Amino acid sequence: MNLWMRQVGGVLRLELKKTLVSRRGWWVYLLALGPVGLSLMHWLMGMSATFGHHSIGEDSLVFAGLFHFYYLRLGIFFGCVGIFSNLFRGEMLEKTLHYYYMTPLRRELLVAGKYLAGLITAILLFAGSTALSFLMLGRHFGAAYTDYILHGPGLSQFGSYVLVATLACVGYGAVFLMSGLFFRNPMIPAAVVMVWENLNPFLPSVLKKVSVIFYLKNLCPVEIPIPPPFNVMVVDADPTPFWIAVPGLLALSIILLIYAGLSARQTEINYGE
């Protein structure tokens, strides 16, 4: 076990250096920094006397919409596509994967080390972006916003959003690391998964559970209603409590990672593809 931990740690250190400064993933940084820039603009414009009057509650709804429709469905989703799909596919394109395969390292440990490196990168970018955006969006209210965070519902909302962003990285990371092992073009499985995730509100209750978004949306502190006419097609399902949603998502991710690790045993390198 100690040997396995050292090997995973070695892979993790090597992969972090490549993942954090990957030239292929420059656009992932833009996905993470975009909402931070918008929140900063909102903060600066809110300090102007000519800026429209609104309440902290309205800003809370704005952030809820930003988180639901950008972070969960676009930013974190495609960020994980860029980070995790390239953990193996990028090595294939650069013709360097065989160096790992020539070492006395179990394939499952290689998958674990790469996944942890991608997960750390994704959490730093997107959970960090979520935290900064939340803290800056209402900063123009000054002491009132500080009181909202410290003595109101703000701190609970802040923790929930950061937790959901982290869990989204865990779930989507497992999905797209596995797809990177099986598909030459990561956009094909990404498109399929995106359609499935966005159809989740309209799926039967049993099928809802075979998705990442099902476990995440009920953990968000502020709910965004589905506008008409789509709301009439929504299939109601019982809200998933915290003690089921978090273990359920973690279990789904572990199953995908175990399958990816077992499949990696049979992976053959063919740089000519």
Residues 109-151: tens digit of each pLDDT? 999 999 999 999 999 999 999 999 999 988 888 889 999 999 8
Does the residue 112 lie in any domain?
A: yes
Does the residue 9 lie in any domain?
A: no
Joined together, the tokens standing for residue 84 give: 């995790």
Joined together, the tokens standing for residue 188 give: 């094909």
Does the residue 165 lie in any domain?
A: yes
Domain count, the chain: 1
Does the residue 77 lie in any domain?
A: yes
Does the residue 140 lie in any domain?
A: yes
Contact call for residues 118 and 83 (beta carbons, < 8 A): yes
Does the residue 78 lie in any domain?
A: yes
The 10s digit of each residue's pLDDT in 145-174 is 999 999 889 899 999 999 999 999 999 999
Give the domain range for residue 211: 15-46+54-264
Does the residue 196 lie in any domain?
A: yes
* Residues 6+ positions from 194 with CB-CB distance below 8 Å: 73, 77
Residue 271 has what pLDDT?
Answer: 57
Confidence label for 235 from pLDDT (cuts 50, 70 and 90): very low
